[in-house]
């Protein structure tokens, strides 16, 4: 009985003393705002590191390696980091779900003034934003194991689809063709043979976009299998 009373007294006394001790973080304030909150700051650094590594993996090892376009590389990385920071810093404001959906709506219809974003680039943009929102807005109820599993599922799905689609990866090139006499339905084979011989590309199909009879030229888009080009480059190397 006496032991229980002493134990309860000691617990209450220690709690009172702990409550009376000033929090050192509270002593460092600027205009009423803490200069640092170690728990939140550590969580920000950890989540930012995880998000940046994952975004870099998606952009560098999946997008840039398989698609020869490098012009969206910078945009994907910057958008991923900015979206993460926006979501994380504003997550305490009770707009979490609506804010995330708003970001998806804004960036989902994003179009640069120069050229429209191709379908594949739009897909990767959606993936980058999705990963950033997930890593930023997942709350304390979601463990880091669950968070990493979700990210790994997304990356594994992308890798599998890229590997499957890589066998049928088709690239295109536009050119101005001056032999207007070959632009005829009856000379399809002659036109294809001439363009193959002059470009050195194994053309799978082509589209005639525009015919200018005043200048005797035509704008044509050639389509070819990218894997054939990579195989030749590997043989030459």
Q: What is the pLDDT of residues 157-180, one digit of tens each?
A: 988 888 776 656 677 889 999 888
Q: Where are the beta strands (DSSP E) in 63-197?
A: 170-177
| Rounded Cα distance, 6 and 10, in Å | 6
Q: Are 112 and 121 in contact (CB under 8 A)?
A: no
For 68, phi then psi, to 5°, come to: -80, 5
CB-based contacts of 126, cutoff 8 Å, min separation 6? 104, 107, 108
Check pLDDT > 80 for residue 190: yes
Q: What is the pLDDT of residues 60-72, one digit of tens each?
A: 888 887 776 677 8
pLDDT at res. 56: 94
pLDDT-wise least confident of 17-21, 123-127, 201-205: 17-21
pTM above 0.85, yes or no: no
pLDDT at res. 23: 61
Q: Are 65 and 94 in contact (CB under 8 A)?
A: no
Altogether, the residues listed in the chain come to a count of: 237
- What six digits make up the tokens of 76? 């994907």
**Helices and strands (DSSP H and E) totals, the chain:** 9, 5
Sign of CA dihedral 227, 80, 133, 105: negative
| Rounded Cα distance, 119 and 116, in Å | 9
Neighbours of 68 (CB within 10 A): 10
The H or E element that residue 12 is part of is helix 2-20
Query: What b-and-e string marks burial along 199-216, b requiring 16 or more CB atoms within 10 Å of the CB?
Result: eebebeebeeeeeeeeee
- Write the DSSP string, 33-87: EES--HHHHHHHHHHHHHHHHHHHIIIIIIIIHHS---TTHHHHHHHHHHHHHHH
Q: What is the pLDDT of residues 31-51, one digit of tens each?
A: 666 666 777 788 889 999 999
175: Cα separation from own chain's centroid: 31
Q: Where are the domains of the chain?
A: 33-166, 170-236
């Amino acid at each position: 009985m006496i032991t229980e009373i002493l134990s309860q007294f000691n617990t209450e006394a220690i709690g009172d003393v702990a409550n009376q001790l000033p929090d050192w973080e509270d002593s460092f304030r600027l205009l009423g705002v803490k200069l640092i909150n170690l728990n939140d700051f550590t969580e920000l650094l950890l989540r930012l590191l995880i998000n940046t590594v994952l975004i870099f993996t998606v952009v560098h090892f999946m997008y840039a390696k398989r698609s020869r376009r490098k012009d969206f590389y910078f945009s994907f990385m910057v958008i991923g980091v900015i979206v993460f920071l926006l979501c994380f810093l504003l997550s305490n404001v009770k707009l979490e779900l609506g804010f995330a959906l708003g970001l998806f709506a804004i960036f989902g219809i994003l179009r640069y003034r120069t050229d429209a974003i191709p379908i594949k680039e739009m897909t990767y943009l959606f993936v980058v934003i999705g990963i950033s929102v997930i890593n930023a807005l997942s709350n304390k109820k979601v463990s880091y194991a669950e968070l990493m599993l979700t990210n790994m599922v997304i990356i594994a799905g992308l890798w599998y689809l890229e590997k499957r689609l890589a066998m049928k990866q088709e690239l295109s090139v536009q050119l101005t063709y001056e032999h207007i006499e070959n632009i005829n339905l009856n000379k399809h084979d002659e036109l294809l043979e001439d363009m193959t011989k002059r470009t050195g590309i194994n053309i799978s199909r082509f589209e005639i976009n525009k015919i200018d009879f005043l200048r005797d030229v035509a704008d044509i888009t050639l389509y070819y299998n990218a894997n054939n080009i990579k195989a030749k480059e590997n043989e030459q190397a």
